[in-house]
Amino acid sequence: MSLATTTLRTSLFPRSSALTRVLFVTGGVIFLSALAQVAFPIPGSPVPFTGQTLGVLLLATSYGATLGATTFALYLLAGIAGAPIFANGSYGIEKVVGATGGYLVGMLIASFVLGKLAQRRLDQKFITALPAMLLGNLIIFTFGLIWLHQYTGQDWAWTFNAGLTPFILGEVLKIAIAGTSLPILWRFVQKKIS
């Protein structure tokens, strides 16, 4: 299998049809929707703590750049169209253009970037998977913080206190989960393939 197309999905389903891809995208949207419902409000912040970032880390690296970004884009479109799939069952364009919009845009971009890194097999070893997951989170939070700062008009100290500081421990745990589970899963897959 070519280095440029190696992802968990392509390793497990090397000849996927259009129907298989549709099923992966649909399953991915359902997975992201479920993790978005794992949401906890952060006092003083318009941004809740959710499981979405974990979903992005896992899906993007499993699906690859194109399918991962497509899945997250469809998730956004479904939420904008009125499906109650954003955090706490919310929906609508206001979620994408409101205070949390930057995080969602960051997740879309991170889906593509992490998918590209996975296609280069950076999700297969602990030493490369953990930095890749950290990069994904940096993309998400960079877009999220810039957007939150612009949207609220608050100073940068408030922006960091409301949009980053309360999330650090949770994000470290998500990076640890994704960065360790994928190499372990790859070992299992490679044993099955060989």
Structure token digits, residue 53 = 């970032």
Structure token digits, residue 49 = 């703590």
Question: Is pLDDT at 2 greater than 60 in this prediction?
Answer: no
The alpha-carbon radius of gyration of the chain (Å, integer) is: 17
Which ranges in 82-100 belong to alpha helices (H)? 93-97
Give this prediction's pTM: 0.89
DSSP 40: E
Architecture of the domain delimited by 3-193: Orthogonal Bundle (1.10)
List CB contacts of 43: < 8 A, sequence separation 6 or more. Answer: none
* Residue 111, number of CB atoms within 10 A of its CB: 33
Q: How far apart are CA 6 and CA 14, in angstroms?
A: 9
Q: How far apart are CA 37 and CA 49, in angstroms?
A: 10
Tell me: the pLDDT tens digits for 57-96? 999 998 899 999 999 999 999 999 999 999 999 999 999 9
